[in-house]
């Protein structure tokens, strides 16, 4: 955690700021270890000289002391943290002067109202400037401990799916299937889910983010299930499409095309290529098979404390993959009124290639 302060401080200094306010809950957690619902961190550009301050309120006095390492100077504020609270607990300027200098904030996370409150509370003693995505950029590369947490979450989610499949799909409603998965994940130790499971049978599968319905799964359908567990704050994310019997040739072909695209794109995950290049690997296969209009989302995304985080693997993904990133590879084909197929794996980029963190088979699988 002290090392994380140093790395963020370097970015703050590079941007020409004196301080950076970190208020987004997941960024705060990554930076300080604190998981309470009300916290603000103040990271100095020069941690050798100025303290890193972590503000919260009375409710979290014990929790913050237990979670945040000693590198953080903890302050319990009685006012709004992003306003009078921060102004009251701001470290005294060097030499006792009146100005706190230039304070950065992330305008993706700080609201217009919060900025106005800060400006009122500081009353001209600080200048506020936006600096976006600096913590997110550090979160891109996972530490060994983070990798192990995500791996454990992925293995737990796999185990929950194996349990579900043992009980079968036919005759259960999509909602029941979602509930079984959820309770299995929780029983196996997940604190919560990465997101509510998507369970979509037959034509409902054409909706990439389908909500499970009170509709029974029938024989002879494809059923797409997208689910993930959250363990120690870290997410997993996986999708499989199962068969509940024979489907028509077109549907079977769609599955084979998605599988081919998924295998090719997953094989291309390694240090070097950008998200755009990887997206193109899968997209080319799907387009060449005649489904250019049916793959309307990106290939994948980073996963960590957040189930969707940087880097993006899509037409807009210009970040080149590096060892330590964890990304999904999840091409799909969706045919309105007919069916949908998506296959998603969670991959760790390693120094020489990549490694899947989940391990359920991807070949066509018949489930009763």
CA–CA distance from 15 to each of 131, 162, 281, 314 (Å)? Answer: 8, 49, 36, 28
CB of 342 to Zn ion, least distance (A): 8
**Residue nearer to Zn ion on the CB measure, 251 or 328:** 328
CB-count burial class (<10 Å; 0-12, 13-18, 19+) for 217: buried
CB of 198 to Zn ion, least distance (A): 7
Q: Which parts of 305-344 interact with Zn ion (CB under 5 A)?
A: 328, 344
**Residue nearer to Zn ion on the CB measure, 114 or 328:** 328
**Residue nearer to Zn ion on the CB measure, 174 or 237:** 237
CA–CA distance from 319 to each of 132, 150, 263, 334 (Å)? Answer: 16, 21, 21, 27
CB of 3 to Zn ion, least distance (A): 29
Q: How many other CB atoms are there within 10 angstroms of residue 129's CB atom?
A: 15
**Residue nearer to Zn ion on the CB measure, 44 or 300:** 300
**Residue nearer to Zn ion on the CB measure, 136 or 344:** 344
CB of 283 to Zn ion, least distance (A): 16
- Binding residue count for Zn ion, defined by CB under 5 A: 5
Does 358 engage in binding with Zn ion (CB under 5 A)?
A: no
**Residue nearer to Zn ion on the CB measure, 157 or 217:** 157
Residue 263 CA to residue 186 CA, distance in Å, equals 30
**Taking contact as CB under 5 A, which single stretch among the options 37-45, 65-73, 106-114, 232-240 is the one that binds Zn ion?**
232-240
Strand pairing of 72-76 and 52-56? Answer: parallel
**Taking contact as CB under 5 A, which single stretch among the options 157-165, 233-241, 274-282, 287-295 is the one that binds Zn ion?**
233-241
CB of 346 to Zn ion, least distance (A): 8
Residue 337 CA to residue 58 CA, distance in Å, equals 54
Among 57, 136, 146, 226, binds Zn ion (CB under 5 A): 226
Edge-to-edge strands, sheet with 234-235 = 192-193, 229-231, 234-235
CB of 291 to Zn ion, least distance (A): 19
**Residue nearer to Zn ion on the CB measure, 276 or 342:** 342
Q: Which of 310, 253, 316, 311 is nearest to 285 (CA)?
A: 253
Indicate the DSSP class of residue 14.
H
- Kindly write down the DSSP assignment for every residue of 67-88, as one continuous string: HS-TTEEEEE-SS-IIIIIHHH
Q: Which of 284, 364, 359, 298 is nearest to 332 (CA)?
A: 298
CB of 61 to Zn ion, least distance (A): 38
**Taking contact as CB under 5 A, which single stretch among the options 36-44, 157-165, 177-185, 225-233 is the one that binds Zn ion?**
225-233
**Taking contact as CB under 5 A, which single stretch among the options 59-67, 217-225, 231-239, 280-288 is the one that binds Zn ion?**
231-239
Residue 305 CA to residue 49 CA, distance in Å, equals 30
**Residue nearer to Zn ion on the CB measure, 106 or 306:** 306
CB-count burial class (<10 Å; 0-12, 13-18, 19+) for 196: middle
CB of 27 to Zn ion, least distance (A): 21
**Residue nearer to Zn ion on the CB measure, 67 or 328:** 328
CA gyration radius, the chain: 23
Among 237, 279, 309, 345, binds Zn ion (CB under 5 A): 237
**Contacts with Zn ion, residue ranges (CB under 5 A):** 226, 237, 239, 328, 344
């Amino acid at each position: 955690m002290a090392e994380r302060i140093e790395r963020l401080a370097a970015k703050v200094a590079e941007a020409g700021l004196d301080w950076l306010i970190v208020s987004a809950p997941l960024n705060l957690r990554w930076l300080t270890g604190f998981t309470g619902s009300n916290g603000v961190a103040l990271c100095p550009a020069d941690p050798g000289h100025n303290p890193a301050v972590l503000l919260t309120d009375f409710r979290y006095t014990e929790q913050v002391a237990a979670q945040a390492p000693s590198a953080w100077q903890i302050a319990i504020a009685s006012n709004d943290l992003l306003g009078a609270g921060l102004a009251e607990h701001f470290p005294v300027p060097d030499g006792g002067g009146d100005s706190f200098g230039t304070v950065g904030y992330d305008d993706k996370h700080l609201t217009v109202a919060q900025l106005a409150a800060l400006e009122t509370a500081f009353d001209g003693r600080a200048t506020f400037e936006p600096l976006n995505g600096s913590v997110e950029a550090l979160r891109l590369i996972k530490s060994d401990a983070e990798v192990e947490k995500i791996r454990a979450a992925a293995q737990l989610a796999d185990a929950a799916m194996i349990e579900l499949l043992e009980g079968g799909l036919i005759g259960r409603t999509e909602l029941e299937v979602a509930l079984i998965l959820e309770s299995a994940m929780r029983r196996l130790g997940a604190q919560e889910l990465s997101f509510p499971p998507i369970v979509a049978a037959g034509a409902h599968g054409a909706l990439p983010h389908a909500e499970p319905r009170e509709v029974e799964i029938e024989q002879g359908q494809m059923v797409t299930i997208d689910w993930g567990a959250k363990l120690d704050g870290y997410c997993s994310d996986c999708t499989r499409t199962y068969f509940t019997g024979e489907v028509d040739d077109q549907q079977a072909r769609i599955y084979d095309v998605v599988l081919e695209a998924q295998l090719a794109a997953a094989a291309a995950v390694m240090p070097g290529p950008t998200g755009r290049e990887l997206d193109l690997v899968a997209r080319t296969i799907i387009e060449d098979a005649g489904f250019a209009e049916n793959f309307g989302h990106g290939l994948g995304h980073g996963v960590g404390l957040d189930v969707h985080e940087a880097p993006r693997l899509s037409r807009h993904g210009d970040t080149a993959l590096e060892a330590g990133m964890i990304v999904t590879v999840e091409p799909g084909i969706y045919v309105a009124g007919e069916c949908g197929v998506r296959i998603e794996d969670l991959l760790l980029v390693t120094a020489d290639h990549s490694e899947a963190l989940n391990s359920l088979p991807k070949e066509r699988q018949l489930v009763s």
